[in-house]
Amino acid sequence: MKHFHDHLDSGGALTSSFMTLWKEGDSLEGGFEQEAVRPEDGATVRRTGWSHFNPETNMEDTRDTWEIIKDGVMIQSEVHAQSPATRSYTQDDAIALFEQAGFKEIQIFSEFTFEPVKPEDTLFTVLGIKP
Amino acid sequence: MKILIIGGTRFLGRHLVNSARARRHEVTLFNRGQTNPDLFGKVKSIRGDREKDLDQLSGQWDAVIDTCGYLPRVVRMSAEALKDKAGKYVFISSISVYADFKRSGFGKVIPLGSSKMRRWRK
């Protein structure tokens, strides 16, 4: 953050999005499955996602398995794994990062909108100005 | 400055457009018009798909900010198409490009990583 601050001219803006990936009481493991039909040949494209959050490091590992299934047979598969994949920030964490780097006029928005952030938002965008 | 923003109506792009306009920069958007097409009614927009309509980008810009590149091939195409039309090309990427960001406070030169991918075909 300090590098960004040093790089900017006075009046310059920095914006960044953040996610809160986990809170006390949440499961450390998560997962999802998505399917779509490939128009060209009617094959099913399936994505199976897995994630694990480490509260000690505040980071998440992810693994995505992509499969193409045609006529009931899996014909191709890829596994993409990232460790770590993402760092988690609370809204207070993110604002503190901007403040510590020297940014002022800090604004925080809900998700990727111009709406003010809500306390329950786990995806938010922060914007700060270099004085 | 004359700034071309590829995308610009979603994610961080909309904040870049606002900030640039607040500083009286001349902003042009290039996008498909599929997401929030009326968000910036007074901003010049070039409608097109970055994968097949790059020839729509006839102009000169001091800087390009690319906020919506998901595949290296696609970003390479736009960077190539704009290399003689823009002073700088800034690509908004992800922290996931770095090999290791377990620790904070790293310097300006950071080793890049790669997604660990296993591929097989039945």
Contacts of B18 in chain A (CB under 8 A): 114
Quote the CA–CA distance of A34 and B99 in Å, as a whole number. Answer: 28
Q: In what order do the strands lie in the sheet with A13-19?
A: A13-19, A123-129, A104-110
Contact check, Cβ <8 Å, B14/A114: yes
> Is pLDDT at A121 greater than 50 in this prediction?
yes
Residues in chain A, how many? Answer: 131
Judge whether residue B16 has pLDDT over 60. yes
Distance of CA A66 to the CA centre of its chain: 20
Nearest CA in chain B to A3: B108
For B17-72, write each residue's pLDDT tens digit.
Answer: 999 999 999 999 999 999 999 999 999 999 999 999 999 999 999 999 999 998 88
**Residues of B engaging A, defined by a Cβ cutoff of 8 Å:** 10-12, 14-16, 18-19, 23, 95-96, 101-102, 108, 115-122
Torsion, CA A127, CA B1, CA B7, CA B9, rounded to 10? 50
CB A10 within 8 A of CB A131: yes
Task: Give the pLDDT score at B118.
Answer: 58
Task: Give the side-chain half-sphere CA count within 13 A for A99.
Answer: 8
Q: What angle do CA A128, A94, B94 make, to 5 degrees?
A: 85
When scoring B15, B17, B18, B104 by the number of chain A Cβ atoms within 10 A, the one with the most, hence best to mutate, is B15
Q: Nearest C-alpha of chain A: how many angstroms from B42?
A: 17
Query: Least CA distance to A85: which residue of chain B?
Result: B96
Q: Which residues pair with A58 in a beta bridge?
A: none
Asked if pLDDT for residue B122 goes beyond 50, the answer is no
Contact criterion met (CB < 8 Å) for B14 and A79 = no
pLDDT in tens, A80-102: 888 888 899 999 999 999 999 99
